[in-house]
Structure formats: structure tokens, C-alpha cells
Structure 1
Amino acid sequence: MNTTVYLKIARDVIKAHFEHTVVDKDTLIDTYPELKIQRATFVTLTLNGHLRGCIGSIIAHQSLIDDLVSNAESAAFRDPRFPPLSLNELDSAKIEVSLLTKPELVTYKDAEDLSHIIRPNIDGVILRVGNYQATFLPQVWEELEDFDSFFTHLGLKAGIGNDPLSYHPDIYTYQVEKIKEA
């Protein structure tokens, strides 16, 4: 399957919101049966090179088509960091779809050990301490290039402060296949 179809689906879902229609998932599944497979996705929107919305699933819990539709709608209209996307913005927005692998628990002794395990630009990271959790896709390494900065920001996102590794959190890694509009 040509994965650029995922980009078209995401854009069509957002467009359908403005047109008060829905994407015909059954027809898409008939054409692309692999859309029935359970898969976790993230949909990221950028506008003029800046983040405009990003919502996704860490764990596969529904079909790829349902996850893609839900996350495209949420990234465009329900990301709490941004107002809902406008129709004018949609014309200029770039869409990226990330297909996630299953997260794997990382065994590590301390921050130094973890710094040798985590692979920048390859690994997405889930940090979990009790009820606090946050994730960064591998693409975040493009902006937070060093290990310390990456984990400082991840700890802040999780709500546990700028030294999250002092809690010896559970760390999971995953990889993504990203499909991006030119």
C-alpha cells in the first residue's frame, strides 16, 4: 500500500469537518484492507514550520482507519494547546502521519546508563511515574537534540518537573514510520 494514502485520509477527514460530511471508512477498507489492522498513530499538523496540532495513540487499541480518523480530527480541532484549525489554515497546513511500533520497556540502572540506550532521532520515548506520563515522538529530537534537554522537556510535559530521571521512571521506547507532506 502506498502510505501517502494515510495523508490523504487525514486531510480528507479534516476537510469533511468543514463540509459537515464524513469520510466513507467502509469504502476505504474495501480498497485498502490493511486499514483494518490495529495500529497506533499520531497526526501532526504544522503551519509555516510551527506545530499547530499533534494528537495520537501510544498503544494500538483500534483499527488503523479509526485511529487515523480520530487523531486527525483531534489534532485539528481538539488539541488543547491550540484553537481549532480554521478552513483558511487547512490550505497552508502540512500533515504528518506517524505509525508507531509497540512500545518496549527499557531496563536501565541510572540516567547515564539510559543515555547509552536511547537512540536520538530513532526512539520515541514514553516516560511514566505513577499516574504521570508523557511521550515525545522521535521527531522531537530534531528540536531537542541532546539527551538532557529531551528528558528535561519530557519531564515538564509529564508534570513531574525538569529532573524526571531522578524518580527512576518507567521508560518505554518505540519507533515510527513517518509519512509527511512535502
Structure 2
Amino acid sequence: MTDHLHRCRWAEKDPIMQNYHDREWGVPIRDSRALWEKLILDGFQAGLSWRTILLKRDAFREAFDGFVPECIAKYDATDIERLLGNETIVRSRIKIKAAIQNANAYVSMKKNGEEFSDFVWNEVSNQPLRRDGINPATRSETGDILSKKLQSRGFSFVGPVIVHAWLQATGVINDHEKLCFCRNAVMRLRTY
């Protein structure tokens, strides 16, 4: 790319990843459903590249009823087989079942008066954590804690590595590299 902007190294060469980096990655998400969708997609990404998930994201949204947790919570064995037969998404029985289980956990939290966004953002006092942007990590203390809390509420496929990547993607943790043009821009978006 010839725009001469400093970006995180992982986004420098691939136009798809560059666009995702510049427009989405690390931007704080406060909407509960959108946060939940990203968590589910991060689960599907496990063992694959994020680029693969980005290329399939629209197909996932169509296959999973727009990622409306209340709809997905009602999925049964027929829906699992339908999804396993859908060649446009990642077809993993364990990941599909986890998405359904996580929809049920999300709905349960909501029924109990616990807003998913508040649950996540309260963990960081409603402000993105700013990491050094120098040493990329696959885990964080916040990710470890939230992983356990999600599991205690009935979520699955939410280990510390998946949760840390999700927190980075949703702007809960600002992990843009020190010279990246997005680093300070994202911090300015930190308040409600």
C-alpha cells in the first residue's frame, strides 16, 4: 500500500486485513449484540486465520439469523445439521454447538437483568486498557479473568486466548502498535 500510514505489522500487506485494521479492529464496541457476535466469530476463528472469517462473515450472518442471540438460542439438531451442510461458513460441530450454548448464556444473562456490554466493560472500568503496543501477547490478565467469568455464566469455547483476541478486536484492550496511526484515534473513542 502506498498511503504511508504506520499500521500494526499484521495489517501492512494484505488489503483485506488493512481495511479491517483501519476501520474496525480495536474500535470500542459498546453494543451488546455486536460484542456477542464478535465473540462468536472469534470462536469460529480458532485454528484459522482471521482473514478466513472476514471473508465468510456475511455468510455467517446469513446462516446464523443475523447473530440475534434470541433466535440462535432456539436452534435444535435440525439447525445444527443445516449449518454443518452450509459450505459458505466454517463447519465445525463443536463451534456451532458453542455458538448455540453461548446464545443461551447471553439470553440468560439478559433475562437476569445483566447487560452483556456492561458485563464486559465493567471489567475495565468502562475505559479501554492501553497496552504497550510493542510486545504482542496472546493472553492478558483481563482476558483470563473474563474467560473464567464467561464460563461461569455458561459460555463455552471462550478460553483465555480467544477472549484476549476478542477484547483486542472490540477495543476493550487497545493493542495497536505504538507507531500505528489508529492507536491514539482509538483512545479518543474511549468514552460513552
TM-score by length of 2: 0.27
If asked which structure has higher relative contact order (CA below 8 Å, sep 6+), I would say 2
TM-score by length of 1: 0.28
Structure with higher helix content: 2
